[in-house]
């Protein structure tokens, strides 16, 4: 081939106007050499294309690694191997294959689609968990801890009140136990001092029944002896009285015997002094008058009738003797406290501390499981990038394999074709009819169009559960915080326990018994005044309220999900732009096919739309309810919703609308749709009279690619 011819052909190609807006912008903003490199023919600049592609692909792979792989909790060796693999794949792919370059750039619009939302969903769940869910969990744990602390505080206060109330009694017993040795020593002294009295009471000295003389004295002595022999059947009082009487009798008998011995001694002395036999007997006769000694018996009667023994001496002696005997034993005292525990629930015998610890352990285990699940979900959602990559390659394959795939855009080349046909005087498509506009997309429109709206609404409905979860958790967190904060401010209790007593026992006298009582009962002389005060401030819940920044951080991923749903339509428009940049010839074929298909549909528009038009006309012919007519006349604000609509494009009826004049038809058409119908009503015109075409509406029409 002649090189000049090739150069002229290349110049002619360069003189052609750009077919896309991207070509216009790059042609205007870049030098001619860059523009020629970007739209080079296959086989041109191979080395430069490979080096630039390999470098760009390697850098993009490193950025992708830092964004997705590096945050994962995997071994460093695995991260290094993954980095090498990504860099190698990116460099080779970008250097050799336009499909890989196109698919790599399609990651950006795909991230704005449902695959990208799935990736963002992991961050949204993590933000919700770390925000209101974590705060809700913390506040619930505070309430559990507050309940446990309150119960323990009640138990401790009851225990403290019991200890304070029994402290004086325990102090008395401790004092008695502390003075045990001194009491034992004093008791021994008392016992040794009491031995003399006991020996005196138990002694049998002072009387000898056998020495009693005379019949009366002998009988009395015998009775007394029998009484002494049977003293264990008598009380101490009777026993001591009998012993006293015997001692009185013994004293009288000794006096009589002494008197008689005196008379005998004097008679003997008298007989020795007087030597005259007869005279000494006469003169010594008075020394024989021993009967005068019997006068002492009168003292015995007086002694028995006036015994110096008190009436309660025996009882007092017995009591004192028993007390002295008891003092000889060990002095000890013990205090036994018996605590009865009742089960809170039937069949359950566990303490509140055990229940509280079990509840805390259960909450911690649930938190650990939830955190593990969220971590696994985060890893899985990080792997959704593979789904995004797969969707990108799938779009490239479908774009090059199926000519109807995502071929519904009124592009710049489409407008150029229509303009060229207009100059040649051929039938054109622009401007499109109202019914046709609902099936195509204008890429430069800043609003979401009818074809995109259904997909956007569906994506918004899929995002609704996560938004409801966020709102419910935020509302529940705020409500519980308000409740717990109110409890904290209005549930303050102060416990005050006051105990005072003064016990004083006064024992008068200087006797041994009085001294003993002062030693024992005197220990009860105690006085105390105790004040125990406490409050439940440490047990009140301390709820935490999330600030506006925390709620904002938790809401940002969810808001990003909603934003991605709205931006999805514009992002999906970008897919075709990227594919057009890498496959311009394929885009020309797709645009030509789409234009020709619309031309065929335009030719058969009336027949294709006849079924829908007839259905709408029948609905309009149905009589309306009287209430609808009344509201239409009386409420001007409701007329836009109550007016009849065009059977073709569903536009509201206006004064310029055309109403079919055929009786019982009255189908409403807007002026443009009536012109498109060639001023013939499909609802009342037979099918054979309408324009026909070999093309029929099928399921193979171009559709919006998701």
Percentage of the residues of the chain whose pLDDT score is greater than 90: 5
DSSP state of 528: E
- Please list, in sequence order, all residues whose beta carbon lies within 8 angstroms of the beta carbon of residue 364, skipping any fewer than 6 positions away: none
Beta carbons of 407 and 593 less than 8 angstroms apart: yes
Name the more confident of 697 and 320: 320
Q: Are 622 and 646 in contact (CB under 8 A)?
A: no
In three-state secondary structure terms, 506 is coil
Q: Comparing 204 with 345, which gets the higher pLDDT?
A: 204
pLDDT value at position 655? 81
Distance CA 603, CA 302 (A): 168
In the three-class reduction of DSSP (H, G, I as helix; E, B as strand; rest coil), residue 112 is classed as: coil
For 511-551, what is each residue's pLDDT tens digit? 666 666 666 666 667 777 777 777 878 888 888 888 888 88
Look up residue 426 and give its two tokens. Answer: 């051929």
* pLDDT (0 to 100) of residue 363: 67
Highest average pLDDT, of 160-169, 213-222, 310-319, 543-552, comes from 543-552
How far is the C-alpha of 542 from the C-alpha of 551, rounded, in Å?
20
Tokens, residue 297: 């018996």
Output the six-digit token pair for 453. Answer: 């709206």
Residue 533 DSSP label: E
Strands (E) located in 137-203: none
For residues 556-585, one letter each, b for 16 or more C-beta atoms within 10 angstroms of the residue's C-beta and e for the rest, the string is: ebbebbbebbebbbbbbbbbbbbbbbbbbe
Q: Which residue has the higher pLDDT, 648 or 589?
A: 589
406 conformational bin, left if phi > 0, alpha if psi -120 to 50, beta if neither:
left
Non-local (6+) Cβ contacts of 261 within 8 A are none
CA pair distance 223, 238, nearest whole angstrom: 14
* DSSP letters spanning 339-369: -----SSTT----HHHHHHHHHHHHHHHHHH
Name the residue with tokens 């360069």.
Answer: 14
Task: Give CA–CA dist 206/179, Å, rounded.
Answer: 43
Work out the pLDDT band at 660, boundaries 50, 70, 90.
confident
Closest CA to 399 of 594, 590, 571, 116: 590
**Per-residue confidence (pLDDT) for residue 322, from 0 to 100:** 72
Pairing outcome for strands 494-503 and 668-669: unpaired
Distance CA 478, CA 361 (A): 25
In this structure, what token pair is assigned to residue 231?
A: 């003293």
- From 309-313, 331-335, 479-483, 579-583, the region with the lowest mean pLDDT: 331-335
Range of lowest pLDDT (37-41, 247-251, 398-402, 681-685): 37-41
Say which residues have a Cβ less than 8 Å from residue 664's Cβ, sequence separation at least 6: 621
Instruction: Return the pLDDT at 70.
Output: 76
pLDDT at 600 over 70: yes
Whether 594 and 414 have beta carbons less than 8 Å apart is answered as yes
Task: Tell me whether residue 648 is exposed, middle or buried, using C-beta atoms within 10 angstroms of its C-beta: 0 to 12, 13 to 18, 19 or more.
Answer: buried
More confident residue, 33 or 534: 534
Of residues 704, 62, 123, 571, the one with CA closest to residue 384: 123
User: Counting runs of H as helices and runs of E as strands, what totals does the chain give?
Assistant: 28, 4
Among candidates 261, 236, 250, which has minimal Cα distance to 206?
A: 250
Q: Which two tokens stand for residue 401?
A: 């394999």
- Ranked by mean pLDDT, which of 228-237, 325-334, 637-646, 666-675 comes out on top? 666-675
Instruction: Give the pLDDT confidence score for residue 5 in this predicted structure.
Output: 40
User: Mean per-residue pLDDT for 18-44?
Assistant: 68
Nearest Cα residue to 649 out of 663, 667, 631: 667
């Amino acid at each position: 081939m002649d090189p000049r011819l090739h150069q002229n052909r290349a110049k002619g190609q360069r003189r052609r106007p750009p077919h896309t807006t991207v070509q216009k912008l790059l042609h205007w903003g870049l030098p001619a050499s860059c523009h020629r490199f970007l739209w080079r023919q296959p086989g041109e600049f191979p080395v430069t294309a490979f080096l630039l592609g390999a470098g760009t692909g390697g850098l993009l792979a490193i950025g992708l690694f830092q964004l997705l792989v590096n945050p994962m909790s995997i071994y460093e060796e695995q991260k290094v191997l993954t980095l090498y693999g990504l860099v190698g794949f990116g460099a080779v792919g970008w250097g050799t294959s336009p499909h890989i370059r196109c698919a790599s750039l399609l990651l950006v619009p795909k991230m704005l689609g449902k695959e990208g939302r799935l990736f963002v969903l992991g961050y949204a769940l993590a933000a919700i968990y770390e925000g209101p869910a974590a705060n809700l969990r913390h506040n619930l744990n505070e309430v559990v801890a507050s309940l446990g602390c309150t119960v323990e505080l009640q138990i401790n206060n009851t225990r403290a009140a019991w200890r304070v109330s029994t402290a004086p009694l325990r102090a008395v017993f401790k004092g008695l136990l502390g003075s045990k040795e001194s009491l034992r020593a004093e008791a021994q002294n008392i016992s040794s001092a009491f031995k003399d009295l006991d020996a005196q009471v138990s002694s049998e000295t002072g009387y000898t029944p056998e020495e009693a003389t005379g019949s009366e004295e002998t009988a009395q002595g015998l009775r007394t002896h029998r009484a002494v022999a049977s003293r264990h059947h008598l009380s101490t009082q009777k026993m001591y009285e009998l012993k006293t009487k015997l001692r009185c009798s013994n004293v009288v008998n000794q006096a009589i015997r002494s008197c008689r011995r005196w008379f005998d001694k004097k008679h003997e002395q008298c007989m020795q002094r007087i030597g005259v036999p007869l005279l000494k007997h006469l003169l010594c006769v008075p020394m024989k008058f021993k009967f005068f000694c019997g006068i002492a018996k009168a003292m015995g009667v007086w002694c028995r009738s006036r015994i110096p023994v008190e009436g309660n001496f025996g009882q007092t002696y017995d009591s004192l003797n028993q007390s002295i005997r008891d003092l000889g034993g060990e002095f000890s005292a013990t205090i036994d406290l018996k605590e009865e525990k009742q089960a809170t629930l039937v069949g359950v015998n566990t303490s509140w501390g055990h229940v509280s610890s079990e509840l805390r352990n259960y909450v911690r285990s649930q938190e650990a499981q939830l955190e593990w699940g969220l971590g696994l979900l985060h890893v899985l959602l990080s792997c959704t990038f593979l789904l995004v990559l797969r969707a990108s390659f799938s779009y490239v394959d479908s774009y090059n394999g199926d000519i109807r795939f995502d071929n519904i855009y009124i592009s710049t080349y489409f407008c150029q074709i229509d303009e060229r046909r207009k100059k040649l005087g051929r039938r054109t498509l622009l401007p499109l009819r109202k019914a046709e506009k609902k099936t195509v997309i204008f890429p430069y429109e800043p609003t979401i169009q009818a074809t995109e709206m259904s997909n956007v609404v569906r994506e918004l409905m899929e995002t609704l559960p996560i938004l409801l979860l966020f709102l419910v958790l935020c509302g529940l967190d705020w409500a519980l915080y308000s409740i717990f904060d109110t409890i904290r401010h209005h549930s303050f209790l102060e416990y005050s326990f006051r105990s005072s007593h003064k016990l004083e026992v006064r024992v008068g006298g200087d006797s041994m018994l009085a001294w003993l009582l002062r030693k024992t009962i005197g220990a009860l002389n105690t006085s105390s005044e105790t004040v125990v005060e406490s409050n439940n401030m440490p047990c009140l819940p301390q709820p935490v309220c999330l600030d506006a920044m925390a709620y904002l951080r938790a809401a940002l991923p969810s808001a990003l999900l909603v934003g991605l749903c709205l931006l999805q339509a514009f992002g999906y428009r970008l897919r075709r732009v990227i594919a057009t940049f890498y496959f311009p010839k394929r885009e020309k074929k797709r645009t030509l096919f789409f234009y020709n298909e619309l031309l065929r549909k335009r030719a058969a528009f009336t027949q294709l739309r006849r079924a829908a038009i007839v259905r709408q006309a029948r609905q309009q012919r149905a009589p309306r309810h009287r209430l609808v007519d009344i509201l239409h006349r009386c409420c001007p604000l409701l007329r836009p919703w109550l007016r009849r609509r065009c059977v073709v494009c569903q536009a509201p009826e206006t004064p310029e609308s055309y109403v079919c004049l055929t009786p019982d038809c009255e189908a409403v058409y807007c002026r443009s749709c009536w012109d498109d119908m060639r001023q013939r009503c499909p609802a009342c015109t037979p099918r054979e009279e309408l324009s026909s075409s070999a093309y029929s509406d099928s399921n193979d029409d171009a559709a919006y690619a998701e």
